[in-house]
Structure 1
Amino acid sequence: MNLSLSDIVPPLRWTAPSQVEPIASDPGLPDAWWQSLPLDRACALVGTAQVASRLTDLTSACWEHLILGDILPLLRFTDPADCLQTPGSREGVHRLFAGVLDKLLATDPADDPSAAALPEIIDRLFARLDDRQRAIARDRLYFDASQNSAQTAQRATLDELAQRFSVTRERIRQIERDLREHVLSWLAGPEAAPLNAHLSWLHTRLGSAVPADELAVAAPWHRTELATLAIPAWRFVRTLLTGYEQADGWLVAGGAEELREKTRQLFADGPRKLDEAVSLVSQLGVREDLAERWIVSVPQLRVLDGHVVPWPRGVNDKAEAVLAVAGTPLSPEEIQERIGEDHSVVGVRNQLASDERFIRLDRNKYGLRRWGGGEEYLGIREMIVREIERAGGEASVNTIVGNLTSRYEVSESSVRAYAGGPGFERTQRGWIRVAGPEQGEPYHPRKDVSMTRRSFRSRDGRWWHRVDINAEHLRGSGSPLPTGFAAHLGMAPGGQLTASTPAGDVVISWHNQPTMGSIRPVLVDYNASDGDHVFITVSDGGELLTRFLPASAAGLPSLNRALHLIGYTAPVASDAEGVRLIGARIGLPEGATREEVLERLRERGDRDILGFLA
């Protein structure tokens, strides 16, 4: 046995050595024996009772606030009722600890010569049965499809067995009950004592969760075929492991979902280093050599770069976990690569830009807002304003260029272009300030964004414009934008807005009318086709955010096709609910009537949606 006392007593691993040493030291054992000496060797030197006594003293001195099952997790299997109690009398605690150590140190079946006789003992049990009883035991009670060599083999049904033996289903069911009672009665007798001792050892060996296939190799004789049933012995042993549930390839003590939830709760506060995570999971009774495999098997957890992290379904939650482990800003491409699932870079970027947990720290780098300390990348124009405000209302263009290019991945030419554009005015040679109200007054279009065709408000209040993709977009041509939407983005005639994407900048300029440059790289990423849709907007940080929506299916009901055009694809309970959603997306207040929704659509010019609602 290679286990030390600290391997089976988790508190020993996190209690300060200065607290443990005076209590656990023993003249018959080496220094720090609880870490360095195999447990069986320690017990051989001073006796199991003495080792249990040292553990009892530690419990009284250091861990009286813990339940016994957290101090010695093996108690969860040997004494499930007592394991939930806090330490009581010294004698009672010592008795429990000594009992566990005795069972743990009992002869390993792999080393016990008498273990080889166990298959013969089991065969004697089934030799007393007739052929029909043995067939029911083999093909139904002890059948395991996952381990059956015949890929098409199935556990025999009551009907199949009834037909095979020309009896009723109820007779087969009665034989099953009789077989179970026969086995239970036998287990209570003296002949089964060696097997019961093995089962007690096996509970200790398996712990609270173990891969199901490990049962077959837990002892050499488990793979021995029972002559009476023509099945490996472990299949019979499996049915005797009371309290274990088989789920997703694991044998789990108690309920599998309960243990999974307890495991997830260990990491609810964020990432843990893997070695620390293994130690925590072992406190739930999972063997340390299996803890990482168990963690990997638990839904909504993941091992990432040497850490265990919560791994919910949302891409934004996964991005948070990736950044928390990295501890340094990453690009959307790097985050998407580390997530390693079917999430597009565009989707990751959209979540980073819209979720308050994240902060944009450079042109293409994001971090976690809770880190603090870093200045947010706001877009070049906004950062020029920030530099001017810091300088007291007026700043040198050269100084602004130097500050921004040294902190962020922006070019000198871009900074100078923005500094010379709308919103700023020159005060003296090489110096600028924010334009006054008469120069910087916002442009008021004839129709605001809520009255603009193909512009829709999402639940977070952000307005998006729907671009209906055609051959010109796919070829790389620019396309016009409605003035109401362009003004919503803060633009005015004569102005220009540069929005960043992973494939490069997209320039929106306003001369005779607002025009957006090519978005072909974005469409290529989406594998878009003629007739599909992409919804666009620009974040406060100057990123072009996009949401892709394939063309609706031809057979879709009219209401759903109308909803599709506003970017809503989920089912709706009624026609009224669908109309309500459309009203909310076009800026109408809650409670707007169907007539008001239709009238607003007419005023906006959304004839395609009107056509589906008519």
Structure 2
Amino acid sequence: MDLIDDLHNPEWWRDPALLSTRLGDLVPNFDTIGSFTIPYTRLPRRLGSYAEEFPRWADVADQTPESLMLRPKLGEAAVRALIEAAEHAVRVRRDTIAAGRVGADAAVARLVGELDDSDRKILAGQVWAADPVPQRVLAERLGVNPVSVSRNLPRARARFAELLSDPAHHEVGEHAERIRQRLGPYVPVDVAELELLRLNVDPTSQTAAVLLDIAGPYVSRGGWMDAGGSHAQVLAAVEAVFDGQGAPTTDALLDALTSRGLSTGVALTFLETKLTLRRFGDAWVRWAGDTTLHMVEAALHLLGAPATAEALHAVIERCDSSGVSVDRIKAVLSQKERFIRTSRTTWGLRRWGVVEYVNIAHAIGECIDASGGKAAVATVFNDLRARYPDISESSIRTYLGTLAFVQGKGVVRRRTKADAWPALPPLNTIRGVFRNGPDEIRVAHLVTAEVLRGSGQVLHSAVADAVGVRPGEQRTFTSSQGPVTVYWKLASTGGAAIGSLRAHAQATGATAGDTLVLVFKLDDSKLEAARIGADESAAVQLPKLVGHPVRAPSAALTTALSCPPQDVGAVLRARGDNALADLLDAP
């Protein structure tokens, strides 16, 4: 009787011959499994503490049952289990060699067959299933506590991985590798099923489920098979291309995806179906959400250079039928940080790193600064016309004449604090302006469609100066309708201005053609408004204009205009208040 047969004797460990025999000699053909990994997950746990010392069968070939049992925690049962596992490995190898290649179904069945029933059911329900079975449901099927399923799942995975590494099951690994090569990291489900059929594997079978887990593991998401989170990597590859090119070519995108392992056909399908992209000729752009913002950005990428709102509108009209207007495009361009103005009428993308165009005055200032603080007027004209062709010479000339700059002898520079301000005309020479004491200025302002729309209004510079606003300054007045600011920008071509008066017109019931009397109270920075109807006579208007009841028009206007009585009529006519001047001549 062979020594190996003596292991079935309950007293085998008392046999001196057996105890002193090398495992390599105790198990016939032991040398044929020397390079195989010892399956510790299928052996008593106490043997697992020796996995690092004896990882392969060749490492225990010179050990005897006696030498093993002298080690801590190893008894006769553990040693016998180790010897029986070696015998099993020899037998499986012999049978595998004898059987040769058996095909995917038989190879997977042989592998799965070496798992115990519990491991097989846990892996089938939790790992291999396209839709994993909840642990609670799986526990009911196995007749165990759900905690047991959770605890045993990692062990079942480890036992399966150990079996897979066994050379006896190399054929399974070869089939999985073929699937991995044919599918790549990311592939549509229908393409994956077709490839499995070409490999003689039924896509609905357990064989397919096991091989897909080994090859990937592949997970079905959104109609695609994803191997180990490859979707995120593929998406990142596309994003990297768009980060470098706003409108990349088909070849650039395909190169990025095929370098990740996708076939050309799958890569093109991914671009056309899985991403919010639009293709125009051979260029691709992001087209997320079909909002005006994204469409404008896409149009700029397609053009590859700054463009006007009208040019962008033309591109969008060719690409989309949503009917977005030019005004809407202009609003988005001016409101969103990702866009930058590159000239008076053109816009680009801030990411391009182009120089921002602020306004003509700013461009003039940059030209002066670049010339060392002074520049020939002719140089300014030539430089700005070359950089911004959509700026007219008349516009440049107009802004050169603002208070922001000082000209002389064909040279222009920025205004400094040392430069005196131009003289202002007397306040009483400005039409519709009156004083009511030292701390109140009253200004007649015609109500137009612009006023009712809420647009800011021009305010005569002399009025701004009278209410305490000098060039480069501003002052806010409070009112029952909200704050209103008077401001005087140095680069303004119209001088001083006042904010929206729409609320004041509404509060007084004023309509287009009426007049608002703006009452500036200087001591407490308050603003009031009164309405003068378009059909009201000069006699009715006068008390509202001067701010108090009027008995004698001449006396009231003398005070309001701060001029001698004999000059009132001439002052009124000189500034265009003829109706009031006529009032002086009335009986």
Tell me the TM-score normalised to structure 2 length: 0.39
Tell me the TM-score normalised to structure 1 length: 0.38
